[in-house]
Amino acid sequence: MKADLHNHTTASDGTYTPEKLVQLAQRKKIDVLSVTDHDTTAALPQIESACKKAGIQFISGIEISCHVDDEEVHILAYGIPQNSEKLEAFLQLQLQDRLRRLKEILVQLEKVQVDLSFDDVKHHIHSESAAGRPHVARALVYKGYAPSIHEAFRRYLVPGTSGYVPRQKIAAEKVLQLILEVRALPVLAHPGLIKKQEHLESLVDQGLAGIEAYHPIHAAWQRAQYEKWATERKLLVTGGSDFHGDQKKGHGSLGSIAIPQTHIEHFLSRVN
Ligand code: AMP
Ligand code: FE
Ligand code: FE
Ligand code: ZN
């Protein structure tokens, strides 16, 4: 059985529409597919109906950005309800914070004679749920304030520069509570990206149900280490390509991560 449990569409920062993603999954002979857009459930109804037609088992999912202390972590949730008022209200607050922060960045930039309007940036945003620094960077390049995206970040958008404004920090503990409340399964995405590995233990204490050991950024030894760690704690082991449709570092191509059958079966026996 072939599964890919971590993917993005145009509803967040992916480049494939829900329909195109499912078509590709069909060509890649994927049996179980979960789409986990950043902070939005917008693509799920389309993915679900396309999967039904394609004979692919669909698992509803999302990837939520939050913090443990000062460190950003991404928590995947599987088997989420698609009409939960509680979840949607939370996502709406995340969205409002993104837009608030975007506007603050523009105010900061104005102080250093960078003249960008909200419309200049909006032009580069295809999904509000992912609106952020990358879109400001594109607008900065477009208007000639920087020669490249990389330079735009370096000059204006990283901590210590004029346009850096952090997003509101949501505690991972709160996000875990919310996911458990809506009876979904919380899984830590790409744990290898976390600098302070001791955070993993506190997340488990707060209700984490699994860990994404199989991810393109992990070397074989990391995968083995996370697998062992999860097994000792009776946690689920999941995996996915983190496909975004592009060739960005850290993102795989759809279906490129082989997850062992026992992990897939264990996951399917637990998820809604
Ligand atoms: P945000 O969520 O708005 O803070 O933006 C974070 C995103 O910006 C990350 O997912 C990266 O894709 C991108 N990013 C962060 N730092 C850089 C950088 N130095 N150069 C290019 N892209 C970056
Ligand atoms: Fe992403
Ligand atoms: Fe992520
Ligand atoms: Zn992702």
Evaluate: CB of 133 within 6 angstroms of ligand 1. Answer: yes
Going by alpha carbons, the residue nearest to atom 3 of ligand 1 is 132
164 within ligand 1 shell (Cβ under 6 A): no
Q: Please name the helix (run of DSSP H) or strand (run of DSSP E) that holds residue 107, with its range, or none.
A: helix 85-111
Nearest CA to ligand 1 atom 14: 134
- CA-to-CA separations, 134 to 110, 141, 160, 215, 224, in angstroms, rounded: 18, 11, 17, 23, 33
- Rounded-to-integer distance, Cα 269 and Cα 108, Å: 50
Going by the DSSP 8-state scheme, the letter that residue 147 receives in this structure is S
Structure-token pair, residue 247: 């060739």
Ligand 1 pocket member 153 (CB < 6 A): yes
Atom of ligand 1 nearest to the CA of 133: 3
Question: Does residue 269 sit in helix, strand or coil?
Answer: helix
In the structure encoding, which two tokens stand for residue 189, read together?
A: 């995405």
Phi-psi region of 67 (alpha: psi -120 to 50; beta: other; left: phi over 0): beta
Tens of each residue's pLDDT in the chain, 272 residues: 999 999 999 999 999 999 999 999 999 999 999 999 999 999 999 999 999 999 999 999 999 999 999 999 999 999 999 989 999 999 999 999 999 999 999 999 999 999 999 999 999 998 888 899 999 999 999 999 999 999 999 999 999 999 999 999 999 999 999 999 999 999 999 999 999 999 999 999 999 999 999 999 999 999 999 999 999 999 999 999 999 997 778 899 999 999 999 999 999 999 98
Nearest to 56 by CA among 23, 7, 20, 78: 23
**Per-residue model confidence (pLDDT) at position 247:** 73
161 in Cβ contact with 153 (< 8 Å): no
